Structure formats: structure tokens, C-alpha cells
Amino acid sequence: MKRIRHALAACDVDIAGIEGILITHEHSDHVSGLPMLAARTGTPVYASEGTARALAGKIPALAGRLRAFAAGTSFEPAESCIVETFPTPHDTPDSVGYILRLDGLRAAVVTDLGHVPDWLPDRLSGVDTILLESNHDAELLRAGGYPAFLKKRILGQRGHLSNAAAGQTAVLCARSGTRHIILGHLSRENNRPELAYQVTYDALASAGFRVGADVTLEVAAPWAATSRVTMRNEELDMMRVGAQVENSSFLTPHS
Ligand SMILES: [Zn+2]
Ligand SMILES: [Zn+2]
């Protein structure tokens, strides 16, 4: 929660102005700051049905605040803001990604997925800004100190996206019109920001995109707040406050 407070302050956002909290799934790296954040804001907490069930069990104080949706459906949490949802292949029953639609612009949060399903690039087609998981370098992970079961989990089809997979996905997105790519959910142990950046940079450059001109590329480091992303309507901003807090859209409640 301290980290969220600092990140919000760095982005000049008043916590009282938050209108909703989107949760991708119930893993603790995504919800440890949720009880305090929910208490401070009083806003609804949106989650898929399976995630909402898990959250209700974990955090009784959310009773009455949870707004559950079926993964794959859309809803309108604030005037003129549509939130599209899609299921993500992750090792939890009902995790989702989000696409926020506001004033004709779309911004997507795509993290915590072991692979990119065939249908996903179509769903992301034309998204203006994407926060894309670039979790690990596969070689660093394999050579690193994680126990074998954890390495297998992360590398599996329901684990996390590697830098190489992020690079391929970034190219597909750029081909369909994406202009801003932020790499996030980086592992502290099995990745480095400069490595993640280089892999996706090379993939985009090989596909003929000029990074910085055709498409912007940034990395949300796990330990720092990044700048604020503003969609055209000034009243409803998409926040990004670092890779620790990147997994929902109005704000992600990490501690
Ligand atoms: Zn997870
Ligand atoms: Zn995660």
C-alpha cells in the first residue's frame, strides 16, 4: 500500500479520485494491497466471477463492494468508459486481461499468461496502448536458483510470458496499429529491464518498425513508479505505477 501511495503521489493522483479497481486474479502479488486500497477509496472492485469468489473468501471486508463479471464480457464502470475483458491462460481458475475503451481509444493490460492464445491478437487489434507482460528471460530462469517445480510453472502454458514471447506479441500488436508498448510484470530474479527492452526492440526493428517513431517502447521496472498514461479524456486516466502495480487498469492494488 505504501508503494501505491508513493506511486500515486509521483503521478500526482489523489487516491480519492479513483473510480474503480480492476483485479486480474487473486494471486497475492496482485491483491496484497487491495484491502487497504479498497478501504481508502470506497470504490467498487471489479473481478471475474471466479476471482470474485476467491477474493470474497480471502478478504471479507470486500463484501458488498465486489462487482463480478463473466470473463470475456464487457461492462461500463463509468460514463463513456467501456471495459472489455478476456480470459488469460494462467494457473488460477478465472484470470483475465482488460481492454479499456474511452473516447475511441483502447488501452490493454495483458499480463499473467503462459502463452498468447491464437485468438488474442485479434482481440487486441487496434489497441492504442498495451501494457504487455515480459516476465523473464528463459535462459536466466533455467539457470537461476528457483526450484524446479517453479521454473516449470513459470515456463508452462499457464505461467508467464517470456521476453521472446513479448517481442513476438509486440510485433503483432504494432502491425495492427498499436503505438505505445509498455513492458511489465518483469521478474526481479529472472529478468532485467534492459534485457526485456532489447528483446522487444530487436523484434520490432526486425519487423521494420522504427522504435520511437512508429511505436514507443518503455519498460516498467519492478521497483519504480513510472509515468502516468492519460487517455484523451482527462477525467479518466489509465494509471501505470510500475511493474509491481500494473495488473489492473484504474489502479492495481499491490502493497
Ligand atoms: Zn498470477
Ligand atoms: Zn502476477
Rounded to the nearest angstrom, the distance between the alpha carbon of 191 and the centre of ligand 1 is 17
Residue 249 confidence (pLDDT): 31
The model's pLDDT over 49-68, given as tens digits with 9 standing for 90+, comes to 999 999 999 998 898 999 99
Residue 5 confidence (pLDDT): 80
- Give this prediction's pTM: 0.89
Q: Which residues of the chain fall short of a pLDDT of 50?
A: 233-255
Ligand lying closest to the C-alpha of residue 54: 1
CA–CA distance, 116 with 110 (Å, rounded to integer):
10
C-alpha distances in Å from residue 151, one per residue of 8, 56, 164, 182, 223? 33, 30, 16, 25, 22
Residues bordering ligand 1, an ion, CB closer than 5 Å: 27, 112
For residue 3, give the C-alpha cell.
508503494
**Which superfamily does CATH assign the domain made up of 2-245 to?**
Ribonuclease Z/Hydroxyacylglutathione hydrolase-like (3.60.15.10)
Rounded to the nearest angstrom, the distance between the alpha carbon of 208 and the centre of ligand 2 is 31
The model's pLDDT over 197-223, given as tens digits with 9 standing for 90+, comes to 999 999 999 999 999 999 999 999 877
CA–CA distance, 29 with 104 (Å, rounded to integer):
31
Q: Give me the residue spans of the domains in the chain.
A: 2-245
Rounded to the nearest angstrom, the distance between the alpha carbon of 221 and the centre of ligand 2 is 14
Ligand lying closest to the C-alpha of residue 95: 1
Rounded to the nearest angstrom, the distance between the alpha carbon of 159 and the centre of ligand 1 is 8
